[in-house]
Amino acid sequence: MRITFLRPNIGRLASGPYIDEGRMEPLTLGVLAAYTPPDVECVLYDDRMENIPFDEPTDLAAITVEIYNARRAYEIAAEYRRRGVPVVMGGFQPTLVPDECLQHADAIVTGDAETIWPEVVSDVRNAALKRRYDGQTDYPQPHAVMPRRDLYRGKGYLPVSLVQFGRGCRFACEFCAISTFFKRTQCVRPIRDVVEEIEKQDRRLIFFVDDNLVSDHARAKELLRALVPLKIRWVSQGSIDMTDDPELMDLIEASGCQGFVVGFESVQQAGVRAMRKACNLSKKTAGWDCYARQVEILRKHHLQTWAAFTLGHDTDTPESILDTLRFAEEHKFCFAAFNILMPYPSTPLYKRLAAEGRLLWGGKWWLHPEYRFNYAAFVPQNMTPEELTDVVFECRRRWNSMGSIFTRVWDFQTHLNSIYRLGTFLVYNRLYASETMTKHGMFFGKNAHSDLLQRGSS
Q: Is 324 in the site for ligand B12 (CB under 6 A)?
A: no
Residue whose CB is nearest to ligand B12 in the complex, by number: 90
Q: For 151, which DSSP code?
A: G
Q: Which is nearer to ligand B12, 18 or 327 (CB)?
A: 18
Rounded distance between C-alpha atoms, residue 31 and residue 148, angstroms: 6
Provide the mask over 221-240, with x wherever binding to ligand SF4 is found by CB under 6 A and - wherever it is not: ------------------x-
Q: Which is nearer to ligand B12, 4 or 414 (CB)?
A: 4
Provide the mask over 178-207, with x wherever binding to ligand SF4 is found by CB under 6 A and - wherever it is not: xx----------------------------
Nearest to 163 by CA among 69, 232, 64, 242: 232
User: Under a CB-based contact definition with an 8 Å cutoff, are residues 227 and 199 in contact?
Assistant: no
Contacts (Cβ under 8 Å, ≥6 apart) of 72:
8, 9, 10, 11, 47, 444, 445, 446
- Residue 211 beta carbon to ligand SF4: minimum distance, rounded to whole angstroms: 4
Helix (H, G, I), strand (E, B) or coil at 43: strand
Segment interacting with ligand B12 (CB under 6 A) among 82-90, 288-296, 312-320, 382-390: 82-90
Q: Is 290 in the site for ligand B12 (CB under 6 A)?
A: no
Element (H, E) at 293: helix 292-300
Nearest to 10 by CA among 88, 73, 91: 73
Q: Is 213 in the site for ligand B12 (CB under 6 A)?
A: no
Q: Is 114 in the site for ligand B12 (CB under 6 A)?
A: yes
Q: Is 211 in the site for ligand SF4 (CB under 6 A)?
A: yes
Contacts (Cβ under 8 Å, ≥6 apart) of 170:
184, 185, 186, 212, 215, 216
Segment interacting with ligand SF4 (CB under 6 A) among 166-174, 220-228, 325-333, 421-429: 166-174
Strands 11-13, 16-17: parallel, antiparallel or unpaired by DSSP? Answer: antiparallel
Rounded distance between C-alpha atoms, residue 303 and residue 127, angstroms: 52
> How many residues touch ligand SF4 (CB under 6 A)?
13
Q: Is 173 in the site for ligand B12 (CB under 6 A)?
A: no
Segment interacting with ligand SF4 (CB under 6 A) among 25-33, 167-175, 361-369, 413-421: 167-175
Partner whose footprint covers residue 69, from ligand SF4, ligand B12, none (CB < 5 to 8 Å by kind): ligand B12
Rounded distance between C-alpha atoms, residue 142 and residue 34, angstroms: 11
What is the contact surface with ligand SF4 in residues (CB under 6 A)?
A: 169, 171-173, 176, 178-179, 211-212, 239, 263, 277, 279
